[in-house]
Structure 1
């Protein structure tokens, strides 16, 4: 099976906070049924993320991992990076600078 087919990309945008973090977690965990081996969360268009959004990402990460699916992030901005560093989540999540970097790593694993 093609490696690209096994990756599902979730694009986040705007403000990710309490209002939409539940939906975010649901959208990501729904991908368990998709047959994906890896979920790439692209944060390029995120302007702000709060702790509830981070919590939702962590819950989604744990749910996916239990289903043997990897979850990685890419294209996080300065505000999101600081949030991740302050909470130590930059050590939990694999974070790529952009989708191209992720794809290069993916290809090198083949």
Structure 2
């Protein structure tokens, strides 16, 4: 089975404006038939509440399209925020793109 994988690299502050961009990007990615989306958050240094909301709605969009969403390379600050908000239960996280490829793509 040949799965379509898209990697989105996010950067800076994930706020309302960036969150809306993420939703638009996600719509486009899913419209193009992507099965798996990886959000690489290596360059993200802060997420506010509207950014968290955008991540949740991105996850719902992917789920509604019967896809899978993963995140990788989250900073300690973002990891702490994910744990506090229980987002770590929603998102399966990997150390980096290499670990994602080893664990997810190798098993497909």
Is the shorter-chain TM-score for this pair beyond 0.5, marking a shared fold? yes
Q: TM-score, normalised by structure 1?
A: 0.90
Gaps of 5+ in 1: none
Q: Distance in 1 between matches of 2:86 and 2:14?
A: 19
Q: Distance in 2 between matches of 1:70 and 1:32?
A: 11
Q: TM-score, normalised by structure 2?
A: 0.92
- 1:12-57: CA deviation from partner (whole Å, max 9, x where unpaired): 0011112321111111122111221100000001111112111101
Q: CA deviation at 1:2?
A: 4.5
CA RMSD of aligned residues (A): 1.3
Q: Distance in 1 between matches of 2:86 and 2:75?
A: 16
> Relative to structure 1, is the Cα distance of residues 62 and 98 closer, same or farther in structure 2, using a 3 angstrom cutoff?
same
Structure 1 stretches of 4+ with a deviation exceeding 4 A read none
Q: Distance in 1 between matches of 2:28 and 2:55?
A: 13
Pair 1:43 & 2:36 matched: no
Gaps of 5+ in 2: none
Q: Distance in 1 between matches of 2:5 and 2:37?
A: 6
